[in-house]
Amino acid sequence: MEVEKTTERLYSAQEKVKMTKGGWTLDEDSKLIHYISLLGQGRWDSLAHFAGLKRTGKSCRLRWMNYLRPNLRRGELTPQEQLLILLLHFRYGNRWAKIAEHLPGRTDNEVKNYWRTKVQKHAKQLHCDVNSLQFRDFLHYQWLPRLTEQIRATSSSQEQLMSSSSSFTSHNNTEVLILENSTFLQTGINGSTNITCPINHTPNVAEVTSLIDDNIWNLLSGNRTSGFEDGFSDLSSTDMAVYSNSQDQCHSWASVGSEVLLPDETLGLNDMDLWLFP
């Protein structure tokens, strides 16, 4: 409908019938990349036309967004990313694009596919609904601990590397749980938006360690630990981890008290995303 409508001016009826569908060829990809570099993104129907592609604008946009655009991360989702998807799904539901915003380099399609092929599959095997209490139990007692154990294992091995490079300073023996390290990086602080940590590199703060405890369950249950809402006004942005665009390092971070929230406006995250544990 929409396709017929929007391509009406650019293509004749005969041409419309000849619109290509299915997988993209290398030639089509290179044409699309070339014309996007010339004309920029947007106006996808026109772009497809000028590029001489027998594709709908919609198809071009999808190919670019999900496959061709720069800084896309490919390959299996890391345990951190998986954990984050599970947690964010409790907050956002099936709003895949919203969830994907917290996973730089990942597309909504990838998040959606992960949910359908992995999470829903598990629920199905357990003969329960993915939103049921039974499945939440499964997440809490089996899936999430398994993921966090993987994260912890990765973190400890990476920590050893970090300690030799002395680019990171730990404070007060406090452990950090960062459920979305990449968002942290992208968002930055003090209004910085040009932080460009390599997309395939796990950020240092996230490398510290990960813990999971009953607070996760509170989150899954929709509850908040009362103390969580207190105290974070004590924190200024300078208390936060500061990333250097050039050095890809965490220069400093500080803990305030035993249980602290990092402010949304600083990190671009909601309070459920970050905790410090004593």
User: C-beta of 115: minimal distance to DNA in Å?
Assistant: 8
Of the listed pieces 92-100, 155-163, 210-218, 223-231, which binds DNA according to CB under 7 A? 92-100
38 binds DNA (CB under 7 A): no
Cβ-based nearer residue to DNA, 44 or 243? 44
121 is a contact residue toward DNA (CB under 7 A): yes
Measured distance CA(171)–CA(91) in Å, rounded? 31
Contacts of 192 (CB under 8 A, 6+ apart): 245
Among 54, 69, 91, 98, binds DNA (CB under 7 A): 98
Give yes or no for a contact between 255 and 262, defined as CB atoms under 8 angstroms apart. Answer: no
Tell me the C-alpha to C-alpha distance, in Å, between residue 184 and each of 5, 21, 159.
Answer: 41, 38, 19
Site string for DNA, 11-30 (x = CB under 7 A): ---------xxxxx------
**Distance of closest approach, residue 133 Cβ to DNA, in angstroms:** 21
Closest to DNA by CB, 2 or 265: 2
Q: Are 113 and 77 in contact (CB under 8 A)?
A: no
Instruction: Find the shortest distance in angstroms from Cβ 17 to DNA.
Output: 12
Per-residue interface string for the shown chain with DNA, residues 48-77, x marking contact by CB under 7 A: -------xxxxx-xxx--xx------x-x-
Ordered DSSP codes for 15-80: HHHT---SSPPHHHHHHHHHHHHHH-SS-HHHHHHHTT--S-HHHHHHHIIIIISTT---SSPPHH
The closest alpha carbon to 274, from 223, 232, 242, belongs to 232
What lies within 8 Å, CB to CB, of 174 at 6+ separation is 255, 276, 277, 278
* 3-class secondary structure, 234: helix
User: From the CB of 79, what's the least distance to DNA, in Å?
Assistant: 15
Q: Please identify which residue in 79, 86, 110, 202 interacts with DNA, judged by CB under 7 A.
A: 110
Assess 6 for contact with DNA (CB under 7 A).
yes
Which residues of the chain form contacts with DNA (CB under 7 A)?
Answer: 1-3, 5-6, 8-9, 20-24, 42-46, 55-59, 61-63, 66-67, 74, 76, 94-98, 108-110, 112-114, 116-118, 121
